Amino acid sequence: MDKSFAEKEVINEQKKSEIVVGLDIGTTKIACFVGRKNEHGKIEIIAKGKSLSLGVGRGVVENIDKTVDSILSAIKLTEKDQEGRLKIASVYVGIAGQHIKSMQHRGIYNRKDRDGEISQKDIDSFIEEMYNMVMSPGEEIITVIPQEYIVDNLNDIKEPVGMPGRRLEANFHIITGQVHNVINIRKCVDRAGLKIKDIILEPIASADAVLSDEEKEAGVVLVDIGGGTTDIAIFHNGIIRHTAVIPFGGNIITQDIREGCKILQNPAESLKVEFGCALATEAKDNEIICIPGINGRNNKEITKKNLAHIIQARMEEIIELVEYEIKNSGYHKKLNCGIVVTGGGAQLKHLPQLFEFITGMDTRIGYPNEHLANTNNLTELASPIYSTGIGLVMKGFETIKENVSMSENDDTIRGHSNPEKRGGFFDKILKSTRDFTKEFFSDDND
């Protein structure tokens, strides 16, 4: 069968059944999730697969070939999960890493049609102007998120469309990133034979998976502890107010255990996963863990309490950095729903108690199955390590809904972003690498 014809058949099938694929390219794992909407409009995960991430460090691609191999392994396992009935052609990809930064900016827009009402076209033009701000070399604006608008000195307007007014102002939350890091992600996905539908910020995706609309309205902090970084997103009045990336995650705790116990990386990771506790006072002094020696050397022993002391010391440092970002945001007194912790690092025992002790804020663990349809595999999806991947699927469906509502005659395949309508940094990156994609697949198309 002709490859292009088979590819079209796969895409048409995805369009018909509204299938969305999320690809989480993390520091410790590459995870792929396939979701669809059931007859009640609820999202259910029908396939998943994950592999070790061998080419990513602190959320940034460091080795393209190894990352491609890891992506291919995750995709194959996901397709195998559906016994070969599924062929993945395109994905929604997450982006994170310590190169991600954010800032607040106040913008002003003077309408050309001063006597008419503010239209959606005015809002789109205003936001597009923000994307044209001058940044440092190698740094580009990723996302512009409008917060409150001001119409002719009338403050705190959330929806200005339809209002009369000449001068439009707004507070914007602007997220930036390094161009080459995004291009490397694009290259990896292309070389794995996949098409990117959109690139989505991982903390925003995780927030969709584990937070409720009520929490976002009342004020909440999302803390996503990954392998290489800890991502923070603060919401208030239903709007994202502050984002930050802390360059420490679960891997540095493993490194501390490795150095403290003088053991290899894999046993250190196993100790953290199996016996890890974030609060030393909750660990027993008389419980001993035996660690096999290297190459016939004598076994080593460590008490659970001493292991917990190692973990707690590093977690306190991470939490103090989280607390600094919360205070730096200016919303620390407006967060009525406290902190929600997710990601692989959230699996440490007694972690919420340590967060509450240091920050004084209510803390719970965020599970990504809370907003999914009830299915047989719902319990399997309860792990916080899946928050980003499942969130990417949810954001994918949200993008589909937005694109359909923008135009019923959209000439792109359903689920694809429309660059001419949405604009922004990611679309420029996708356009700029189109020639690379054609060159890479030229042999297949001959």
Q: Which DSSP string do the residues of 187-217 spell out, in sequence order? A: HHHHHTT-EEEEEEEHHHHHHHHH--HHHHH
Tokens at 441, concatenated: 């697949």
In order along its 446 residues, the chain shows pLDDT tens digits of 454 444 444 444 444 458 999 999 999 999 999 999 988 889 999 999 999 999 999 889 999 999 999 999 999 999 998 887 889 999 999 988 888 988 999 999 998 877 789 999 999 999 999 999 988 888 888 889 999 999 998 998 989 999 999 999 999 999 999 999 989 999 999 999 999 999 899 999 999 999 999 999 999 999 999 999 999 999 999 999 999 999 999 999 999 999 999 899 999 999 999 999 999 999 988 899 998 877 878 888 999 999 999 999 999 999 999 999 999 999 999 999 999 999 999 999 999 999 999 999 999 999 999 889 888 778 889 999 999 999 999 999 998 887 765 544 333 333 333 333 344 455 555 555 444 444 433 344 44
How far is Cα 100 from Cα 139, in angstroms, rounded to an integer? Answer: 10
- What is residue 428's predicted lDDT score, i.e. its pLDDT? 55
Q: Is 274 helix (H, G, I), strand (E, B) or coil?
A: helix
- Contact assessment for residue 283 and residue 305, using Cβ atoms and an 8 Å cutoff: yes
Q: Is 145 helix (H, G, I), strand (E, B) or coil?
A: strand
Whether residue 311 sits in one domain with residue 231: yes
Q: Is 240 helix (H, G, I), strand (E, B) or coil?
A: strand
Whether residue 217 sits in one domain with residue 109: no
Whether residue 36 sits in one domain with residue 151: no
Whether residue 338 sits in one domain with residue 354: yes
Whether residue 63 sits in one domain with residue 32: yes
How far is Cα 207 from Cα 240, in angstroms, rounded to an integer? Answer: 10
How far is the first Cα of the chain from the last one, in angstroms, to the nearest whole number? 14
Provide the residue type at 126 as one letter. Answer: F
- What is residue 442's predicted lDDT score, i.e. its pLDDT? 38
Whether residue 158 sits in one domain with residue 37: no
How far is Cα 351 from Cα 12, in angstroms, rounded to an integer? Answer: 45
How far is Cα 417 from Cα 423, in angstroms, rounded to an integer? Answer: 9
What percent of the chain is helix, strand and coil (3-state, nearest 5)? 45, 25, 30
How far is Cα 197 from Cα 400, in angstroms, rounded to an integer? Answer: 10
Whether residue 246 sits in one domain with residue 296: yes
Tokens at 192, concatenated: 């794995």
Domain containing 110 equals 101-177
- What is residue 299's predicted lDDT score, i.e. its pLDDT? 87
- What is residue 30's predicted lDDT score, i.e. its pLDDT? 96
Residue 5 neighbours by CB under 8 Å, 6+ apart: none
Q: What are phi and psi of 93, to 5 degrees?
A: -110, 140
Provide the residue type at 131 as one letter. Answer: Y
Residue 76 neighbours by CB under 8 Å, 6+ apart: 49
Whether residue 145 sits in one domain with residue 59: no
Q: Which DSSP string do the residues of 70-136 spell out, in sequence order? A: HHHHHHHHHHHHTTT-----EEEEEE-STT-EEEEEEEEEE-SSTTSB--HHHHHHHHHHHHT----
Whether residue 348 sits in one domain with residue 222: yes
- What is residue 284's predicted lDDT score, i.e. its pLDDT? 87
Whether residue 208 is contained in a domain is answered as no
- What is residue 445's predicted lDDT score, i.e. its pLDDT? 42
Q: How many domains does the chain have?
A: 3
Whether residue 207 is contained in a domain is answered as no
* CATH at residue 146: 3.30.1490.110
Of 379, 344, 372, 350, residue with least CA distance to 363: 350
Whether residue 194 is contained in a domain is answered as yes
Whether residue 317 sits in one domain with residue 218: yes
Q: Is 308 helix (H, G, I), strand (E, B) or coil?
A: helix
- What is residue 379's predicted lDDT score, i.e. its pLDDT? 84
* CATH at residue 298: 3.30.420.40
Tokens at 298, concatenated: 């004598």
Whether residue 132 sits in one domain with residue 48: no
Residue found by looking up tokens 């954010």 in the block: 102
Provide the residue type at 432 as one letter. Answer: S
How far is Cα 104 from Cα 175, in angstroms, rounded to an integer? Answer: 9
Residue 141 neighbours by CB under 8 Å, 6+ apart: 130, 131, 133, 135, 174, 175, 176, 424, 425
Of 228, 237, 206, 225, residue with least CA distance to 62: 228
- Contact assessment for residue 139 and residue 177, using Cβ atoms and an 8 Å cutoff: yes
Whether residue 120 sits in one domain with residue 69: no
Each residue's pLDDT tens digit, 122-163: 999 999 999 999 888 888 888 899 999 999 989 989 899 999
Of 430, 406, 438, residue with least CA distance to 91: 430
Averaged confidence pLDDT in the chain? 86
